[in-house]
Amino acid sequence: MADQTGPRPDSTTHDPAAVARLRRAGERALRGVLHVYWRVSRGHTLGVRGLVVDGQDRVLLVRHSYVSGWYLPGGGVEVGESMHEALDRELREEGNVHLTAAPVLHGIYLNARVSRRDHVALFVVRAFEQPAPPVPNREIVATGFFALDALPAGTTRGTRARIAEVFHGAPATDRW
Protein backbone atom coordinates (compact mmCIF):
# COMPACT_ATOMS: atom_id res chain seq x y z
CA MET A 1 0.00 0.00 0.00
CA ALA A 2 1.34 3.47 -0.92
CA ASP A 3 2.19 6.01 1.75
CA GLN A 4 -0.79 8.40 2.03
CA THR A 5 0.73 10.89 4.49
CA GLY A 6 2.04 13.51 2.04
CA PRO A 7 0.09 16.22 0.26
CA ARG A 8 -2.06 15.20 -2.64
CA PRO A 9 -0.85 16.46 -6.04
CA ASP A 10 -4.08 18.45 -6.41
CA SER A 11 -3.76 20.16 -3.01
CA THR A 12 -3.22 23.91 -2.64
CA THR A 13 0.33 23.42 -1.35
CA HIS A 14 1.55 23.59 -4.95
CA ASP A 15 -0.42 26.71 -5.86
CA PRO A 16 0.93 29.87 -4.19
CA ALA A 17 -2.09 31.90 -5.32
CA ALA A 18 -4.46 29.41 -3.67
CA VAL A 19 -2.40 29.48 -0.48
CA ALA A 20 -2.54 33.30 -0.47
CA ARG A 21 -6.34 33.24 -0.98
CA LEU A 22 -6.77 30.80 1.91
CA ARG A 23 -4.57 32.94 4.15
CA ARG A 24 -6.54 36.12 3.33
CA ALA A 25 -9.82 34.29 4.02
CA GLY A 26 -8.45 33.07 7.35
CA GLU A 27 -7.30 36.58 8.29
CA ARG A 28 -10.76 38.00 7.49
CA ALA A 29 -12.40 35.30 9.62
CA LEU A 30 -10.00 35.95 12.51
CA ARG A 31 -10.65 39.72 12.36
CA GLY A 32 -14.39 39.01 12.46
CA VAL A 33 -14.12 36.79 15.53
CA LEU A 34 -11.84 39.27 17.31
CA HIS A 35 -14.19 42.16 16.43
CA VAL A 36 -17.10 40.35 18.11
CA TYR A 37 -14.97 39.58 21.18
CA TRP A 38 -13.70 43.17 21.46
CA ARG A 39 -17.18 44.61 20.97
CA VAL A 40 -18.60 42.49 23.78
CA SER A 41 -15.66 42.76 26.16
CA ARG A 42 -14.28 46.25 25.62
CA GLY A 43 -16.50 48.63 23.66
CA HIS A 44 -13.79 50.81 22.15
CA THR A 45 -10.27 49.53 21.72
CA LEU A 46 -7.05 51.53 21.82
CA GLY A 47 -3.72 50.46 20.44
CA VAL A 48 -0.27 51.93 20.06
CA ARG A 49 2.34 51.62 17.33
CA GLY A 50 5.90 52.85 17.30
CA LEU A 51 7.69 54.25 14.29
CA VAL A 52 11.14 53.35 15.61
CA VAL A 53 13.88 55.20 13.70
CA ASP A 54 17.54 54.29 14.09
CA GLY A 55 20.58 56.54 13.55
CA GLN A 56 20.61 55.72 9.82
CA ASP A 57 16.94 56.76 9.35
CA ARG A 58 15.87 53.13 8.99
CA VAL A 59 12.55 52.02 10.46
CA LEU A 60 11.81 48.94 12.53
CA LEU A 61 9.19 46.62 11.03
CA VAL A 62 7.81 43.34 12.34
CA ARG A 63 6.13 40.36 10.69
CA HIS A 64 3.51 38.47 12.71
CA SER A 65 2.78 34.75 12.57
CA TYR A 66 -0.99 35.22 12.34
CA VAL A 67 -1.37 37.90 9.61
CA SER A 68 0.55 38.58 6.44
CA GLY A 69 2.62 41.69 5.87
CA TRP A 70 5.16 43.91 7.61
CA TYR A 71 3.91 46.30 10.31
CA LEU A 72 5.14 48.92 12.72
CA PRO A 73 5.52 47.25 16.13
CA GLY A 74 2.76 47.77 18.65
CA GLY A 75 -0.38 46.38 20.19
CA GLY A 76 -3.27 46.99 22.54
CA VAL A 77 -3.36 49.24 25.58
CA GLU A 78 -4.41 47.17 28.58
CA VAL A 79 -6.82 48.37 31.28
CA GLY A 80 -4.93 50.56 33.76
CA GLU A 81 -1.99 51.07 31.40
CA SER A 82 -0.97 54.40 29.86
CA MET A 83 -0.23 54.64 26.15
CA HIS A 84 3.48 55.18 26.93
CA GLU A 85 3.52 52.10 29.17
CA ALA A 86 1.81 50.04 26.47
CA LEU A 87 4.24 51.26 23.82
CA ASP A 88 7.22 50.48 26.03
CA ARG A 89 5.87 46.97 26.71
CA GLU A 90 5.05 46.25 23.06
CA LEU A 91 8.40 47.52 21.77
CA ARG A 92 10.23 45.31 24.28
CA GLU A 93 8.09 42.27 23.39
CA GLU A 94 8.21 42.66 19.62
CA GLY A 95 11.55 44.32 18.93
CA ASN A 96 13.67 44.12 22.10
CA VAL A 97 13.60 47.93 21.94
CA HIS A 98 14.04 49.81 25.23
CA LEU A 99 12.94 53.46 25.31
CA THR A 100 15.56 55.87 26.65
CA ALA A 101 13.42 59.03 26.34
CA ALA A 102 9.76 59.84 25.85
CA PRO A 103 8.39 59.05 22.39
CA VAL A 104 6.63 61.77 20.39
CA LEU A 105 2.94 61.36 19.62
CA HIS A 106 2.45 61.77 15.86
CA GLY A 107 -1.29 61.11 15.60
CA ILE A 108 -4.32 59.10 16.63
CA TYR A 109 -6.16 57.17 13.92
CA LEU A 110 -9.37 55.24 13.47
CA ASN A 111 -8.43 51.75 12.34
CA ALA A 112 -11.72 50.85 10.65
CA ARG A 113 -10.11 47.89 8.86
CA VAL A 114 -9.99 46.14 12.23
CA SER A 115 -13.18 47.56 13.76
CA ARG A 116 -15.20 50.77 13.70
CA ARG A 117 -14.29 51.00 17.40
CA ASP A 118 -10.50 50.63 17.12
CA HIS A 119 -8.14 53.58 17.52
CA VAL A 120 -4.36 53.57 17.18
CA ALA A 121 -1.91 56.12 18.59
CA LEU A 122 1.29 56.41 16.58
CA PHE A 123 4.47 57.47 18.36
CA VAL A 124 7.78 58.36 16.73
CA VAL A 125 10.67 56.79 18.64
CA ARG A 126 14.22 58.00 18.07
CA ALA A 127 15.73 57.53 21.55
CA PHE A 128 16.11 53.84 22.32
CA GLU A 129 18.47 50.96 22.86
CA GLN A 130 18.26 47.52 21.33
CA PRO A 131 20.68 45.29 23.26
CA ALA A 132 20.29 42.50 20.70
CA PRO A 133 17.97 41.67 17.82
CA PRO A 134 14.84 39.90 19.06
CA VAL A 135 14.57 36.14 18.79
CA PRO A 136 11.65 35.04 16.56
CA ASN A 137 8.77 33.57 18.56
CA ARG A 138 5.17 32.39 18.19
CA GLU A 139 3.88 35.93 17.62
CA ILE A 140 6.72 37.74 15.83
CA VAL A 141 8.47 35.65 13.19
CA ALA A 142 10.76 38.35 11.76
CA THR A 143 11.94 41.89 12.50
CA GLY A 144 14.33 44.29 10.89
CA PHE A 145 15.39 47.86 10.38
CA PHE A 146 14.75 48.90 6.78
CA ALA A 147 15.83 51.89 4.72
CA LEU A 148 12.94 54.05 3.55
CA ASP A 149 13.70 53.24 -0.09
CA ALA A 150 14.01 49.51 0.63
CA LEU A 151 10.89 48.57 2.59
CA PRO A 152 10.17 44.85 2.25
CA ALA A 153 7.51 43.50 -0.08
CA GLY A 154 4.29 43.14 1.85
CA THR A 155 4.74 46.29 3.94
CA THR A 156 1.14 47.20 4.72
CA ARG A 157 -0.64 50.20 3.25
CA GLY A 158 -1.14 51.77 6.70
CA THR A 159 2.53 51.33 7.57
CA ARG A 160 3.63 52.95 4.31
CA ALA A 161 1.18 55.83 4.83
CA ARG A 162 2.49 56.57 8.34
CA ILE A 163 6.10 56.46 7.13
CA ALA A 164 5.20 58.88 4.30
CA GLU A 165 3.58 61.27 6.80
CA VAL A 166 6.58 61.31 9.12
CA PHE A 167 9.41 61.31 6.58
CA HIS A 168 8.01 62.80 3.38
CA GLY A 169 5.47 65.33 4.64
CA ALA A 170 2.49 63.46 3.20
CA PRO A 171 -0.81 64.89 4.46
CA ALA A 172 -1.85 63.22 7.71
CA THR A 173 -5.20 61.49 7.74
CA ASP A 174 -7.36 60.44 10.66
CA ARG A 175 -7.76 56.86 9.39
CA TRP A 176 -5.16 54.16 9.60
Q: What is the pTM of this model?
A: 0.77
pLDDT tens-place string over residues 130-174:
999 999 999 999 999 999 999 999 999 999 999 999 999 999 999
Of all residues in the chain, the percent with pLDDT exceeding 90 is: 70
User: What sign does the dihedral 93-111-68-127 (CA atoms) show?
Assistant: negative
pLDDT of residue 113: 79
> What residues are paired with 71 via a beta bridge?
62
> What residues are paired with 76 via a beta bridge?
47
What is the pairing mode between strands 118-125 and 98-99? unpaired
Torsion angle (degrees, nearest 10) of CA 119, 121, 122, 124: 180
Of 158, 176, 24, nearest to 115 by C-alpha is 176
